[in-house]
Structure formats: structure tokens, C-alpha cells
Amino acid sequence: MKFIPVLDRILLDIDKPEEETKSGIIIPVKHQNVQQTAIVLAVGPGKPNKDGVLMPMSVKVGDRIIFVKHCSIEIKIDDKEYGYITNDDIVGILK
């Protein structure tokens, strides 16, 4: 099934957070990084500003991004879970 985000929404394949240190110490969820990385799978067309002009999105499909972890909504498509955020939740693009 194809999913097309609306407005300034972005569909993500979220990287699994680091749950254990290299030395084997388990990191409790509340102490895991508040930033998360992901690959952009689909991007909405953008959101109109107050003058009605469509503001372009800051990412494109295939970009690896850092976003604020707690802003992501989990959605399920074809039995797989994805992240769903807005353009404002993006911290930066990894190159």
C-alpha cells in the first residue's frame, strides 16, 4: 500500500535506539537520547503560510535525519510500524 503524507507531515523508517553501551551496560529508556535518527520514506507537499503560499519541505525521500524522538507518532501500515512527524520536528539532515 502506498502512503502519501498530507501538509507538512513526513513518514519515517526510524532507526532502532541504542539500548546498550559498547561495554554491555543496558541504557534505561528514560536515559536514552532524546534525539532519534531515521530515513525519510514519504514527504507531504508542505504547509501554506499565513498568506496562503505553500512553504517547501526541508527534506526529501531518502534523507537521513535527526528528529525530536518524543514528537513522533507511531502509525502502522501493512503490519509495519513507522514514525510520523511534522517538518518542524526535524533537528537536521545527516550527510
> What local confidence, expressed as pLDDT, does residue 42 receive?
96
* All residues at 6 or more sequence positions from 2 whose CB lies less than 8 Å from its CB, including other chains: none
What is the rounded CA–CA span in Å between residue 86 and residue 61?
A: 14
Structure letter (DSSP) for residue 26: B
Q: What is the pLDDT of residue 72?
A: 85
pLDDT digit string (tens) for the chain, length 95 residues: 788 999 999 999 988 766 666 676 666 665 555 668 999 999 999 999 999 999 999 999 999 999 987 888 899 999 999 999 999 999 999 99
How many C-beta atoms surround the C-beta of residue 39 within 10 A? 15
Domains of the chain, earliest start first = 9-94 (2.30.33.40)
Helices (H) and strands (E) in the chain, counts: 0, 8
End-to-end CA distance of the chain: 29
Position 86 scores a pLDDT of: 95
DSSP string, 20-74: B-TTSPBPPGGGS-SEEEEEEEEE---EE-TTSPEEPPS--TT-EEEEEGGGPEE
Q: For the whole model, what pTM was predicted?
A: 0.81
